[in-house]
Amino acid sequence: MGSATIFFWLQLPNVTKSYRTALTITGIVTLIATYHYIRIFNSWSEAFTVASKDGGDYAVQLTGAPFNDGYRYVDWLLTVPLLLIELILVMKLPQAETVSLSWKLGLASALMVALGYPGEIQEDLAVRWFWWCLSMIPFCYVVFTLAVGLAEATSKQPSPAAASLASAARYLTVLSWCTYPFVYMVKSVGLAGPAATMYEQVGYSLADVLAKAVFGVLIWAIAAEKSAVEESGKLLPN
């Protein structure tokens, strides 16, 4: 995540001015994630200990300190709206549409994260499902808006390469977003204990790398391609 940030920011001079705000935000998203993953790493190390007794097999034990999943939700509360805004910015829609889409998707996605947290920290499966369902309302709204909105924006891209990258961004968004509700369900279907906790953390981490770093590389590729098209004069900046 940290390397992705540095990559995006070092690439700022290589894109035209129109795409620098999108690329700056892309780097901020992975920077915020870097910070929270360090917190998550430390919280994890404090919650579990690995040791071998008398030179025997290694075993994982609880230390008694809780593993704090709150870092993940604070991270999402900040990064998910920013991720959507970077995607909207790189599409370079008319200004009024950019502002209105940013507000609608930004607020809906923050609401989605906020509604997911009360369920995440619950052991009671019914309560977990209740918050999952509530959180899925803004989730569906955002994913649907993106799937439809990006299909339209894709057809307006200035070159076939840009259109194919925008289409890849669309599929990656839907794929990586849909991972989260399924990972959330790992514990809701009654799985518990160390294995469920591990799968949940691996799942969220993989989805985060896809949704932030890999998605960011796509945003950069779109920005670089559109900058090249603009600079070659095939398209006048609108």
Interface residues toward a copy of itself, by CB under 8 A? 2-3, 6-7, 9-12, 14, 17, 20-21, 24-25, 27-28, 31-32, 35, 50-53, 55, 58, 62, 64-66, 78
Q: What is the dihedral of CA 20, 23, 28, 30, to 10 degrees?
A: -170
Least Cα distance to 23 among 232, 217, 238, 207 occurs for 217
Q: Which is nearer to a copy of itself, 39 or 141 (CB)?
A: 39
* Shortest separation between residue 184's beta carbon and a copy of itself, angstroms: 21
Q: How far apart are CA 125 and CA 185, in angstroms?
A: 10
* Shortest separation between residue 62's beta carbon and a copy of itself, angstroms: 7
* Shortest separation between residue 133's beta carbon and a copy of itself, angstroms: 27
Q: How far apart are CA 8 and CA 230, in angstroms?
A: 20
Beta-bridge partners for 229: none
* Shortest separation between residue 91's beta carbon and a copy of itself, angstroms: 19
Q: How far apart are CA 100 and CA 228, in angstroms?
A: 28
Q: How far apart are CA 48 and CA 69, in angstroms?
A: 14
Q: Which is nearer to a copy of itself, 27 or 116 (CB)?
A: 27
Q: Which is nearer to a copy of itself, 78 or 186 (CB)?
A: 78
* Shortest separation between residue 40's beta carbon and a copy of itself, angstroms: 15
CA distances from 180 to 95, 100, 174 (A): 31, 26, 11
Beta-bridge partners for 61: 49
Q: Which is nearer to a copy of itself, 21 or 145 (CB)?
A: 21
Q: Which is nearer to a copy of itself, 79 or 157 (CB)?
A: 79
Q: How far apart are CA 21 and CA 129, in angstroms?
A: 38
Q: How far apart are CA 127 and CA 131, in angstroms?
A: 6
* Shortest separation between residue 177's beta carbon and a copy of itself, angstroms: 22
Q: Which is nearer to a copy of itself, 50 or 126 (CB)?
A: 50
